[in-house]
Chain A
Amino acid sequence: MKKEFRILSPNGILGYGFPEESFNIGVAQKPDLIAVDAGSTDPGPYYLGSGQPFTSRSSTKRDLEFLLKAALDLNIPLVIGSAGGSGANPHLERDREVLHEIAKEQGYSFKVAIVPTELDKNYVAEEFRKGNVVSLDGAPEITERDILDTVHIVAQMGLEPIVKALDEGAQVVLCGRAYDPSSFAAPAVRLGYDEALATHLGKILECACIAAVPGSASDVMMGYLYEDSFAVEPCSPKRKCTVTSVCAHTLYEKANPYILPGPGGTLDLSECTFEQETERRVRVRGSKFIPQVKKNVKLEGTKLMGYRTISICGNRDPFFLMALDDVLEGVKAQAEDNFKSKNIDYKLDFIVYGRDGVMGALEPEPGVISGTKEVGIVIDVVADTQEHADTVCGAARAMMLHYGYPGRVATAGNLAFPFSPSDAHMGAVYNFSAYCLLENEHPEDLFKCTVYEIIDGEPENTEPARLSRMKGGLNEKTS
């Protein structure tokens, strides 16, 4: 085990970009690993549901070109977690295609591992019937119907599949959905570094310079792992890590900053100390890891809710604003009456900016339009088909445009539309329908990686990623 293990984290999400200058500073330090996390559930359920990557192909390619070149030049591993944002097979395939394209353009040779994490929903349903699936974190109680209705279900992998891929000689590891810190921690843990420290360091590095001041998800951070501690320092001389910035990042996006559950166990940071080592570097000690008694993996799944059509409009007539609630209720009732004989399953909602558009159900002063002379209204319709959504949105828009309310002076039309056409397709709408734990004594068996060579830019394997676990047993098609 080397005295120091250096990890370069280019940015918070692959495709977010980073300054070349910072990257070169990092590379000049001869890191032992380049790792990046590409994923998040933050942008909502659409990406996992639709299979669309969260970042654009060209920005992913731009980042990956730099990372791949540096990893090959330095002969170090490159690990990418949660490919394409959500880590289901379409996301993994997109990033794999980009990787192949760069390899081909540059004539690179290297060994790559692909780790799919999408599960067959019938397998998950089977496990549910055995009582091995439990709901999580304030999520509604999951049912078998929810599981069978999902479009994609991914399992969040921990360290083991990455360790295995590296053991099999892979230099580039492209993972489906991965626990954010795993891509950073696994190669270090494989070499004998402490799992708690490595995971805690990964937790900070996965957001790159968000833990620095000034913060940024688009700049390079270096992590330095030691036997008994770790340190973080941003590459750009314009940024620094302070005890406050690193501590504050520990709070970010989590309910309890001391107890961080993940695959294989829980990170316990209650005894952690943070020390300002130099002006720009913070040293961390005391991270602990409590292994799971009952092993499990986290599952994320989404289901299709329908199709959305919206219309954006505005109003600045004080009499209309006074009557607004009556108008909205009136239009809802009129639409309901209009479509009651038709077999249309729809939900009509109005988002009123200037009133409770931002906070909705959490707005402490609902219904109050204060200090504003105008409101923006989004007519939001989700229906069973796009055509039905168009129909209801168009009808509601026309009803509101000409709705006769008490005190109406302006009788030509109630709404100002910025666009023609006034209505727009938002397409398919998804929901987080499965957010739960799958109990499994051997979680590593859920993730079967495929390892192959790319020689002078030609991949040995172009078979698309398969479901990592099928009903009734392992998918035989993967190694």
Chain B
Amino acid sequence: MKRLVDVAAIIRSKNSGPFELTMDVIFTDKDNYEKFLKGKYMNSHKISELYKIPLKDVVDIVEFPGALAVKATIIRPLPSGALGERDVYGAQQHVPLMMMELSGWD
């Protein structure tokens, strides 16, 4: 089965302030981007399932056609740098999203 990494060009995570983590998926191929949006692959439920977090911790999913991009923002499990922190910049939290399976892609 196709995974997100097979169709998107950039898949990344990063802090958006010390309390949120935001993930960007950027395509270079317009057809793939539209197919991805149409298939509603990235939604709050999916993010909650991939990261095993409560649905209420998924803040927002935003489409940004100008950059052929979709964003998902979640509440950080801990504020950046708090005791128990694993990734101060939040730059290595992208893998579950990157490996997301795209059922019915082809």
**Which residues of A does B touch, CB under 8 Å?**
41-46, 137-140, 243-244, 247-248, 250-258, 272, 274, 305, 347, 349, 351, 356-362, 364, 382, 429-432, 435
Chain B residues with a Cβ under 8 A of chain A: 10, 14-20, 22, 24, 26, 28, 50-53, 59-60, 62, 64, 66-69, 71, 73, 75-89, 92-93, 95-96
B83 adjacent to A349 (CB under 8 Å): yes
Q: DSSP majority for the B interface? A: loop
Given A248-B67, A257-B62, A359-B87: A44 in contact with B16 (beta carbons within 8 A): no
User: When A250-B66, A256-B60, A258-B62 are in contact, do A139 and B19 touch as well, CB less than 8 Å?
Assistant: yes
Set of chain B residues within 8 Å of A138, measured between Cβ atoms: 17, 19-20, 59, 75-76
Q: How far is the CA of A359 from the CA of B40 in the complex (A)?
A: 26
Q: Given A138-B59, A251-B69, A255-B59, do A42 and B77 touch, yes or no (CB 8 Å)?
A: no
- Known contacts A244-B28, A248-B10, A360-B84: A254-B16 contact under CB 8 Å: yes
CB distance A362 to B51 under 8 Å? yes
Q: Between A and B, how many residue pairs show CB distances below 8 Å? A: 135
CA distance A362 to B17 in the complex (A): 18
In the bound complex, residues from chain A placing their C-beta under 8 Å from that of B51 are 362, 364
Return the contact of B18 from the options A272, A305, A361, A432 (Cβ within 8 A): A432
Question: Interface centre among A140, A253, A349, A430, by most B CB within 10 Å?
Answer: A253
A349 near B84: Cβ-Cβ < 8 Å = yes
- Measured CB to CB, the nearest residue on chain A to B13 is A362
Beyond A46-B81, A351-B86, A431-B79, whether A250 also contacts B64 by CB under 8 A is: yes
Min distance, Cβ B64 to any Cβ of chain A, angstroms: 5
Interface residue from A255, A351, A359, A432 paired with B81 (Cβ < 8 Å): A432
Interface pair B83/A305, CB less than 8 Å apart: yes
Q: Which of B10, B59, B66 contacts A272 (CB 8 A)?
A: B66
Q: Considering the chains assembled together, what is the distance between the CA atoms of A351 and B85 in angstroms? A: 9
